Amino acid sequence: MPIRENLTHSKELRDILVADAVLILAFTMVFAWGFGGIFTLFAAPTKSISNFIYFLPMAVVAATLSFVLHELMHKFVAQHYGAIAAFRSSKNGLLITLLTGAIGFLLGIPGATMIYVHSFTKRENGIVSLAGPLTNFVVFVVFLAAFLFSTPNTYLSNLFYFVMFVSILLAFFNMLPIYPLDGSKVLAWDKRVYAATMLVIFALMYVFAHIPLFEIFIWIMIAFYFSMFYRRIL
């Protein structure tokens, strides 16, 4: 159990709004400028700024729905089991999120829902952890339906796809079996639930989000490396 800090609604609201804003900026940079990141501004400033303006509203919708709802669901389910829970941003995590977004490969770790409880069973801890990724599933399915019924190749259809992509990406990252991510706690609770959840994530990523398997593998390797770094500085 972490050492309990002063949990106030105003601080929690401020923390989650700051974290959301940083994620919005980071996602915008990644999708607007690609792997070259912010350095593309020097090569093609007009196009870079135009791309940034194009993707910014999409990132606002995607990050807010996928990230904020994810963290709130952790909180509400933890409270259901009698815990005290609140979101807290991490200064180091915010910095890593911005820096990786700026170079074109996002590692989104702006903070987490802190849970204070005397005792959690493995099942309760697993369910609380799974609640976030399951929320991403719901967001994905809603926007997949909207995407399928939208007019192709329009800004609105691109927005729907963007939200789908971000939502399933966050579910995937959080379900990696690496402490302190959600996946490590779900795996400790029930290997069958973990395997079924990851199977669904891979299917959605590959079939509907069209993410190549090679990219998924690269993400796993980089996330594993940064998770070890993150545990030392959070």
Kindly list the domain boundaries of the chain, sorted by start residue.
Answer: 9-233
pTM score of the predicted model: 0.87
The reply to whether 71 belongs to the active site is: yes
Is the pLDDT at 221 greater than 80? The verdict is no
Instruction: Name the active-site residue from 5, 12, 71, 124.
Output: 71
Q: What's the 3-state SS for the chain?
A: CCCCCCCCHHHHHHHHHHHHHHHHHHHHHHHHHHHHHHHHHHHCHHHHHHHHHHHHHHHHHHHHHHHHHHHHHHHHHHHHCCCEEEEEECHHHHHHHHHHHHHCCCCCCCEEEEEECCCCCHHHHHHHHHHHHHHHHHHHHHHHHHHHCCCCCCHHHHHHHHHHHHHHHHHHHHCCCCCCCHHHHHHHHCHHHHHHHHHHHHHHHHHHCCCCHHHHHHHHHHHHHHHHHHHHHC
User: Residue 179 — pLDDT band, cuts 50, 70, 90?
Assistant: confident
What digits encode the pLDDT tens for the residues 61-100? Answer: 999 999 999 999 999 999 999 999 999 999 999 999 999 9
What mean pLDDT do residues 199-208 have?
A: 84
What pLDDT does residue 41 have? 77
